[in-house]
């Protein structure tokens, strides 16, 4: 497979931007075109529910590079330009403005928030959080005394809750599971997050689905009930899709000229030995780099374990690994959640996931503990 022809990247998010940048770092000299449906240059999303929402950072700080950088690196980033279809046999994409041939196509179309009809029909101002515009609109709406109903006690719901409390809004979080973050962390550690938010004055309503009446007193509603991978384009083209675009360890799809990376990629993971689709920042970067390696012929399997971080109030935490469908037998913890804290999820005597909270010196050791015997209790 040659590396010289045009590389077309669909999706100007972090994964697509990293793939383009890494191609140049690897000495790829051919044409690179990045199509981005949004009107912005590629940017990172984590600050949108943290520093940007809190007003600590401008949304400009979230940009991966400024316009001059893309120009200097001869990467043609076409903002406001949506790819409408892919012709796999003819190796070209069709956009709102015409056609573009490719030698290699990298799909990095990301995900979009799942909608909640009950909220959309509530008659209240309803906020979802995915884009710069969403973040700035929500920031304006979060004011002292505002009654904010958050539907979903996942990462985004809880980060918004923390930001809203910081400005003095009154916050209720509605979560159908018995604890926030229950599905990811399990009851042992999820309980600590519940306590953290209650200690900061959040009214957590758990274990029952939200109703229209629950939203009736709110001034605004924030919905954070997860995101769906944008796989429509890949599916319509005839690529293999099953909760994500199916890719191998080199990020190759069922078509040998097409790769998929970031939130949409359901990858056969060489270390985990099964498919994973990871909706996290680090995965967008790692798979972007790995796609560039595949295109330039160095074939480096993407084997990094899933990694995630969050900031809520004064808590900063990192989580490494993936418990997966087989679950865990027990959780071992060290320290107090209000200070340095660590946790290990263990199955069959092996750590399958690990986290540190407010213990940044332990970051490397926490990562390295995954796949090993648990540390001394
Ligand atoms: C508010 C928020 C906070 C987050 N915080 C964290 C965090 O703290 N830690 C963490 O690990 N992860 C976090 N994430 C997740 C992380 O941001 C994502 O995993 C990451 O953005 C995925 O990158 P991506 O490039 O795959 O997709 P995206 O960032 O979604 O980018 C995809 C881009 O493709 C464009 N696109 C889609 N279809 C087309 C088309 N047909 N033509 C052209 N362009 C198209 C979209 O408009 C979009 O701009 C957060 C996400 C959000 C929304």
**103 lies in the same domain as 241:** yes
Residue 305 is assigned to a structural domain of this protein? no
**What are the tokens at 270?**
């060489």
- How many folded domains does the chain comprise? 3
Residue 301 is assigned to a structural domain of this protein? no
Q: Which residues pair with residue 204 across a beta bridge?
A: 173
CATH number of residue 239's parent domain: 3.50.50.60
Residues whose CB is less than 8 angstroms from the CB of residue 206 and which lie 6 or more positions away in sequence, other chains included: 153, 175, 177, 178, 179, 180, 194
What separation in Å is there between the alpha carbon of 333 and the centre of ligand 1? 32
What is the DSSP code string of 36-54?
-SSSSPPB-SGGGGTHHHH
pTM (whole model) above 0.95: yes
What number is the average pLDDT over the span 300-318?
95
> 155-166 vs 182-199: helix axis angle to the nearest 10?
10
d(CA 77, CA 19): 12
Element (H, E) at 98: strand 98-101
pLDDT by residue (tens digit) across 280-297? 999 999 999 999 999 999
Q: How many CA within 13 A on the CB side of residue 21?
A: 19
Among 227-236, 343-352, 368-377, the minimum mean pLDDT is found in 368-377
Residue 307 is assigned to a structural domain of this protein? no
**119 lies in the same domain as 108:** no
Helices in the chain by DSSP H: which ranges? 14-25, 51-54, 67-72, 117-120, 132-141, 155-166, 182-199, 212-215, 232-237, 281-295, 363-369
CATH number of residue 344's parent domain: 3.30.390.30
Q: Does the pLDDT of residue 2 top 60, yes or no? A: no
Class of residue 177 by CB neighbours under 10 A (exposed 0-12, middle 13-18, buried 19+): middle
Residue 339 is assigned to a structural domain of this protein? yes
What separation in Å is there between the alpha carbon of 213 and the centre of ligand 1? 32
Pocket of ligand 1 (CB under 6 A): 10-16, 35-38, 45-46, 48-49, 82-83, 108-111, 129-130, 156, 230, 233, 262-263, 279-282, 284, 308-310
Q: Which one-letter DSSP state was computed for residue 375?
A: P
Residue 376 is assigned to a structural domain of this protein? no
**251 lies in the same domain as 104:** yes
**75 lies in the same domain as 139:** no
- pLDDT of amino acid 97: 84
What separation in Å is there between the alpha carbon of 14 and the centre of ligand 1? 7
pLDDT band at 377 (very low <50, low <70, confident <90, very high): confident
Can you tell me which atom of ligand 1 is nearest the CA of 309? 9
* Structural domain harbouring 319: 314-369
Residue 273 is assigned to a structural domain of this protein? yes
């Amino acid at each position: 497979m040659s590396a010289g022809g045009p590389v077309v990247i669909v999706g100007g998010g972090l994964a697509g931007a990293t793939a383009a940048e890494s191609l140049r770092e690897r000495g790829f000299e051919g044409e690179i075109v990045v199509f981005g449906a949004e009107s912005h240059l590629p940017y990172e999303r984590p600050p949108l529910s943290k520093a940007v929402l809190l007003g600590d950072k401008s949304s400009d700080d979230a940009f991966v590079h400024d316009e001059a950088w893309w120009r200097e690196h001869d990467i043609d980033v076409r903002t406001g330009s949506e790819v409408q279809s892919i012709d796999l046999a003819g190796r070209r994409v069709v956009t709102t403005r015409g056609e573009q041939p490719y030698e290699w196509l990298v799909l990095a179309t990301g995900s979009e928030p799942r909608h909640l009809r009950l909220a959309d029909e509530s008659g209240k101002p309803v906020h979802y959080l995915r884009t710069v515009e969403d973040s700035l609109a929500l920031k304006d709406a979060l004011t002292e005394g505002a009654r904010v109903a958050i539907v979903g006690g996942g990462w985004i719901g809880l980060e918004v809750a923390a930001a809203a409390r910081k400005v003095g809004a009154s916050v209720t979080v509605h979560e159908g599971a018995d604890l926030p973050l229950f599905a990811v962390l399990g009851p042992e550690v999820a309980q600590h997050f519940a306590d953290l938010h209650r200690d900061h004055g959040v009214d957590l309503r758990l274990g029952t689905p939200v109703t229209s009446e629950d939203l009736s007193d709110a001034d605004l509603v924030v919905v954070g009930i997860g995101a769906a991978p944008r796989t429509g384009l890949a599916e319509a083209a005839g690529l293999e899709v099953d909760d994500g675009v199916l890719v191998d360890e080199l990020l190759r799809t069922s078509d040998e000229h097409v790769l998929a990376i970031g939130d949409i990629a359901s990858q056969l993971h060489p270390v985990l030995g099964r498919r994973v689709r990871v909706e996290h920042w680090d995965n967008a970067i790692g798979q972007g780099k790995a796609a560039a390696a595949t295109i330039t012929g160095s074939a480096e399997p993407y084997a990094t374990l899933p990694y995630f971080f969050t900031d809520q109030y004064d808590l900063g935490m990192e989580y490494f690994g993936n418990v997966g469908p087989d679950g865990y037998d027990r959780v071992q913890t060290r320290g107090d959640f209000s200070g340095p804290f660590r946790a290990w999820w263990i199955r069959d005597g092996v750590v399958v996931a690990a986290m540190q909270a407010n213990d940044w010196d332990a970051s490397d050791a926490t990562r390295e503990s995954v796949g090993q015997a648990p540390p001394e209790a």
